[in-house]
Amino acid sequence: MGSSLIFQWGEASAFVNRSSATGWRLPEHAMRLPHQGIKPGSLVIKWTSGGVLRTATDNGQGDLQGAATGEINYASAALLLRPQFMIDAGGQFAIEYDYAVVINKNVAVTLDAGGYASITLDTVPAPGTVSVGWITVRNLSASSGASSGGTSASKNGGSGKFSYLPQVPPAPAPVITSRVPLSDGSTTGKYMAQGGTRASGGSVYIEVGATSSPTGNHYVPPDVDGVVWTDAEYTAGVKSIGGVEYRRWGA
């Protein structure tokens, strides 16, 4: 007598557990890198999934391999990324690549009877780097209450624009190593780079800051050949490499 009764209940929530399901399409990321003229075989993409570092690279023919599939157009820098492992929540993709000067050439062509045109370039293009653009003929029509007009165009020739990387340039092309994020387009954040090895075993990754230049912000990793972190340095999360102090990624 005189005691209180406590009632508790909850509402049912409908859900479907798909953690072990198969056949679902993986997320895709489509973007354009800041620099055109990506050098074939130089693209490296890194991210963490479940705390494990995943890496994907290009095979030099425009396809991605490793922990992701996809395509890279070297001339236009258009990238399609399909990771096979979901990126961790709040994570970022770290992209490293080399790029060189792209040769642009405007050409006028005349089509043969079969509709083909022969074009002579100044140098031999590197495989997978040619990008072609041209203007097509558009048919216009007029409807009641409206009018439209246009200019006539010939279908047996015209002009277009070629972009490509030379296979054997007459002089070494300038190459810059860059690291850019895919999540928010920031160029001021810290990005993951190889930092050497740990004395007790395993690889170490470091934070690399942006370096400003007339062509933009670039992320240049240090030379870590032969760099070994002691257990004390690994625990402290800081090490001097080439006279510059770097923080361990995740420290």
Task: Read off the pLDDT of residues 182-240 as tens digits, 9 standing for 90 and up.
Answer: 344 455 567 777 888 999 888 888 888 776 655 555 677 888 889 999 999 999 999 99
> Average pLDDT in the 56-82 region?
91
Contact 155, 130 (CB under 8 A): no
130: left (phi > 0), else alpha (psi -120 to 50), else beta?
beta
Integer-rounded Cα Rg, in Å, for the chain is 27
**Amino acid letter at 159?**
S
* For the chain, percent of residues with pLDDT exceeding 90: 22
pTM over the 0.85 mark: no
pLDDT of 174-183, one tens digit each?
333 444 443 4
Q: Where are the alpha helices (DSSP H) in the chain?
A: 231-236
